[in-house]
Structure 1
Amino acid sequence: MRVMTWNLWWRFGGWERRWKAIRQVLLDVRPDVLGLQEVWSHGDDCLADHLAADLGMYCVRADSDAPGGWQRRLDDPDAHEIGVGNAVLSRWPVVDRARLRLPTDGGRADGRLSLHALIDAPGGRPVPFFTTHLNSGAHESAVRCAQVRALAAFVAEHRAGTDFPPVLTGDYNAWPDSDEMRLLGGLRTAPPVGRQVFLDAWEFAAPGLPAVTWDAANPYVAARRDPSVRIDYVHVGPPGPGNVGHVRSVRRAGDGPVDGVWPSDHLAVVADLALEEED
């Protein structure tokens, strides 16, 4: 099962040209399940729906209930009508869904979300899939820690009924050694939910493989004068019976221009997971 996470940079940076580049990357990668952040919607028109139609996938999405901060940054007379949110696209039916409004006490309140989709994957083991988008301020680590704790409780609430491990994807806006990311692993600090731990898929990457997803090689990032870091993740719970859910490989995607256009300011993460039991 090929899973992917990607922040699509909403309606910033020449979004109409970027849309074509995003579409081409997804057609090349062909993920089975895809977690998206910063997805735009305008009335009944939504980028996630367009991409799902192009890829032949099911789509569920959740829009922010406080998009004003985003809209004020957009130079568009219709900005007040444009929504932002998360989406999950799946090659297989989505049999259940839920959304969580993440806490933002002490930080910018712009309706950050986690979205759950229960995927009716082949083999009779539904896959509990999640995508999330945490606050981005460099000073907001404490806010992100609270958001990770809320996410962990949300996962615990919706992971029952299947022995396929939960799959978490998203833009955490946090470095791998940060307090908020250590909360998910359990080895470096106590997990928010007892005995519920997750593996960072990138730990299974081939040695020397480029890892950063906020990359100064990308002109959108270079213009910010930011360092190159990894802030986008795929996490998976410990493998189930027969090693289902085991990370078989991981890599980046969207890590270069398509016909001269970089698709997003973020690079994507793609992980192949064992869908069936294996020795």
Structure 2
Amino acid sequence: MRFLTWNLWWRFGPWERRQAAITAVLRAEQPDVCGLQEVWSTAEGHLAEHLAAELGLHLAWAPAALPPHWSERIPASAPPGLGVGLAVLSRWPIEESAVLPLPRGDGPDEGRVALYARIAAPGGPVPFFTTHLHSGPAGSGVRCAQVRALARMVADRRGGGAFPPVITGDFNAEPDSDEIRLFGGRLTAPAVPGQMLLDAWRYAEPGQPSATWDTANPYLAGGLGLNIRVDYIHTGLPAADGTGRVRSVRRAGDGPVDGVWPSDHLAVVAELEA
């Protein structure tokens, strides 16, 4: 079963050309389930609706608030109701969905949320989650509060099926950060007692490029100048028969399509044993 996570960079940059490139990458990758962040919306609809229609996928949607620091970047020509949200796209029907507002801690009121979708896969239900955490470079404390809430949501909604929960998103944190260690629960006490979540990238081939915020991407010119991994696919422990075991993981959307890079983030794709 193929899972994908991708931050789509809202309507920044050449967004109309990027939309075509995003569609092309998703069509080529053919994910069974994907979590999308920074999905633009307007009063007339949102990008995830377009992608679902183009690719023949089922959809769950969670509106979020526009981060305050985006206000100065919104053009005067912006359409009515311009907003942002999270989406889940699935090859199979979505039986149930829920949205969790995430705590702001001592950070700004950004309106961050997490989205849950119960996927009616052929072999049994798959509990799937996607989120986009606080982006402040010094905001580890806020993100720790957010991953605690997210971990509790996973524990409450993981269900009793064979397939482990799959949690995707832009965590805005590097792998050795306090928040990622806390969420995983293997290198430090877990956010929820007894719950361990595996970073799928631990199963990557040695030497495989891992940065999802990659300086090869021209949209990052003038930034920190660092290659870092901030986008994740986490899974619960596999079942005794191997269901949910990570078979492979890699990046996608890591180059231009018809001359335009699809997003400022690269996607992550993981294949899990079904």
| Band the TM-score falls in, shorter-chain normalisation | over 0.9
Q: Within 5 Å, which residues of 2 pair with 1:198-213?
A: 198-213=197-212
- Tell me if structure 1 keeps the 8 A contact 2:66–2:84: no
Aligned to 1:23: 23
- The separation in 2 between residues aligned to 1:76 and 1:150, in whole angstroms, is 36
Paired AA for residue 257 in structure 1: P
Q: CA deviation at 1:70?
A: 3.3
Q: Within 5 Å, which residues of 2 pair with 1:118-137?
A: 118-123=118-123, 125-137=124-136
- Tell me if structure 1 keeps the 8 A contact 2:42–2:80: no
Q: Within 5 Å, which residues of 2 pair with 1:20-169?
A: 20-65=20-65, 69-78=69-78, 81-123=81-123, 125-169=124-168
Paired AA for residue 97 in structure 1: S
Aligned to 2:5: 5
Paired AA for residue 188 in structure 1: L
Unaligned segments of structure 1, at least 5 residues = none
- Tell me if structure 2 keeps the 8 A contact 1:68–1:80: no
SS in 2 for 1:52: helix
- The separation in 2 between residues aligned to 1:83 and 1:67, in whole angstroms, is 10
Q: CA RMSD in A?
A: 1.3
Provide, for residues 29-85 of structure 1, a one-character-per-residue CA deviation record: whole Å limited to 9, x for no partner.
010000000001111321001001111100111001455553442124336621101
Aligned to 2:235: 236
Paired AA for residue 137 in structure 1: G
Provide, for residues 106-145 of structure 1, a one-character-per-residue CA deviation record: whole Å limited to 9, x for no partner.
112121110000000011x200000010001111000000
- The separation in 2 between residues aligned to 1:71 and 1:44, in whole angstroms, is 21
Paired AA for residue 59 in structure 2: C
TM-score with structure 1 length normalisation? 0.95
Provide, for residues 175-218 of structure 1, a one-character-per-residue CA deviation record: whole Å limited to 9, x for no partner.
00000000122221100111111111000001111000000110
Unaligned segments of structure 2, at least 5 residues = none
Paired AA for residue 203 in structure 2: F
1:179 matched to 2:182? The reply is no
- The separation in 2 between residues aligned to 1:213 and 1:179, in whole angstroms, is 19
- The separation in 1 between residues aligned to 2:92 and 2:36, in whole angstroms, is 16
TM-score with structure 2 length normalisation? 0.97
Paired AA for residue 89 in structure 2: L
Q: How many residues align?
A: 274
